[in-house]
Structure 1
């Protein structure tokens, strides 16, 4: 008997499946879904339509997806960036519009009600949020970008969407030091180990898998521990860390409950009693 496809990356239920699974999996109905955009600053993606269910991952403001079904205040969706499938509140979405023009390039920033830092902040935005800018203005020497929703963000906190934010993803990960640890988190407000890898690499224009097991099996090439250098990855069962240099890692972890630096040797010894030795080392 063939195993069912990974439910994290393949949308299927007893009553419905995504069109891409036609011919691979039997379902009463198939759907290609309809495009939509995330309108909440950050929204949790859950394995079932239940606010008490654990968080699988998060989607950021302006990210695009396809809505496969809507019912009882929930939307069943598939993210465009990494193909992740899950449920989020229906009111966290808006109709798909034009492609984003800019991306938030700092760990966190605010969207203001006016083009002035003294006006009320309407909501906060995370690194990686995608923005549709429709205008620009200046107040007391500070440039602001006007969003299609009427809010304003500091221009210096953003970058054109089509341009990667440098080519060293480790420097982006380091900027997130002391960000609180959040299981399933993928933003500047809270993040987990594989979310840190994915978000930091996303800011350099790379599309990488979301979860640790996906990254360990398909991201980059395997290497030996003795070859580790800046930018390489160390994997344990259920955990991943980024090499800042030959001896130091940066990782979101449940020990310090934030993104922290740690010596690799010390981390291997500390983690070993619970999760054993690293399972592999990879170079993206």
Structure 2
């Protein structure tokens, strides 16, 4: 059976590429739009629980709408779900991404001006003007230049990106500086380094590389997977993960983590992504 997380079918309408593969009442090419809200919850059903979140500037294909909720598939990782239609805007062309853990959108190019919203790491914006150390977005708001990078500029160390998020609160299905979970910590870090990455840990375990042989020496940048969990190795004897033990992004000695998690099952994969 197709994975509903990655299958663009709302239960009423499916993407045309699924014709001949599934029995759907209707098919559509969909409409390409962008997330215009700072952050949007991607829900399992129009009134259902959050599965993931999508950031400002993310490109999505809108396939269905019920009331004020739209069913979309995110272009970056293929994740499907429902979000408020009000969070969608026109398909503009972003020029920059947020490279800091978080930043503020200001109403004027002045650090003392009122902030209008917070954007998180990897949110994308279209810049149209510069004033001193501030850059103006296409909707007239301003961001500190120091917190942005051109879309063509990528980070090189995903663990360093993950380390910049230490202390972020744990949030199931979260994908932002306001709160994130274990798989989001991996996805955000790899995305900043221009490496595609699925949204959930089980998908990541299958997509990010072959499992290394048992006994392979561990090194910084490796990933360890348990049932329902993933962690970065920041050093051969230390992991970095968003975890429910501390309810935050935190370091944990590897031996301590292995002992603590052992009752839930063994490490299922040791992967060296890309």
Match of 1:253 in 2: 243
Matched, 1:70 2:65: yes
Instruction: Check the 8 A contact 2:5/2:80 in 1, yes or no.
Output: yes
Counterparts of 1:36 and 1:226, CA distance in 2: 44
Structure 2 segments unaligned to the other structure (5+ residues): none
Counting only pairs closer than 5 Å after superposition, residues 138-157 of structure 1 correspond to structure 2 as 138=132, 143-157=133-147
Matched, 1:79 2:79: no
Shift of 1:221: 2.0
Give the alignment's Cα RMSD to 1 decimal: 1.0
Shift of 1:15: 2.4
Matched, 1:201 2:190: yes
Counterparts of 1:161 and 1:39, CA distance in 2: 17
Counterparts of 2:10 and 2:149, CA distance in 1: 39
Shift of 1:279: 1.1
Match of 1:117 in 2: 111
Instruction: Check the 8 A contact 2:14/2:27 in 1, yes or no.
Output: yes
Q: Deviations over 1:221-268 (max 9, x none)?
A: 211344211100000000000000100000000010000000111001
Q: SS at 1:227's partner residue?
A: coil
Counting only pairs closer than 5 Å after superposition, residues 48-197 of structure 1 correspond to structure 2 as 48-50=45-47, 53-97=48-92, 99-138=93-132, 143-165=133-155, 167-197=156-186
Match of 1:39 in 2: 36
Instruction: Check the 8 A contact 1:37/1:63 in 2, yes or no.
Output: yes
Shift of 1:218: 1.9
Instruction: Check the 8 A contact 1:225/1:281 in 2, yes or no.
Output: no
Structure 1 segments unaligned to the other structure (5+ residues): none
Cα–Cα, structure 1 residues 30 and 270, in superposed 2: closer, same or farther, change >3 Å?
same
Counterparts of 1:116 and 1:95, CA distance in 2: 28
Q: Deviations over 1:174-210 (max 9, x none)?
A: 0000000000011111110001000100000111111
Matched, 1:244 2:239: no
Shift of 1:220: 1.3
Counterparts of 2:12 and 2:49, CA distance in 1: 23
| Matched length | 272
Q: Deviations over 1:78-104 (max 9, x none)?
A: 00100100000111111212x210000
Counterparts of 2:51 and 2:218, CA distance in 1: 30
Q: SS at 1:215's partner residue?
A: helix
Counterparts of 1:19 and 1:61, CA distance in 2: 26
Q: SS at 1:172's partner residue?
A: helix
Counterparts of 2:268 and 2:194, CA distance in 1: 27
Shift of 1:44: 0.6
Length-normalised TM-score, structure 2: 0.97
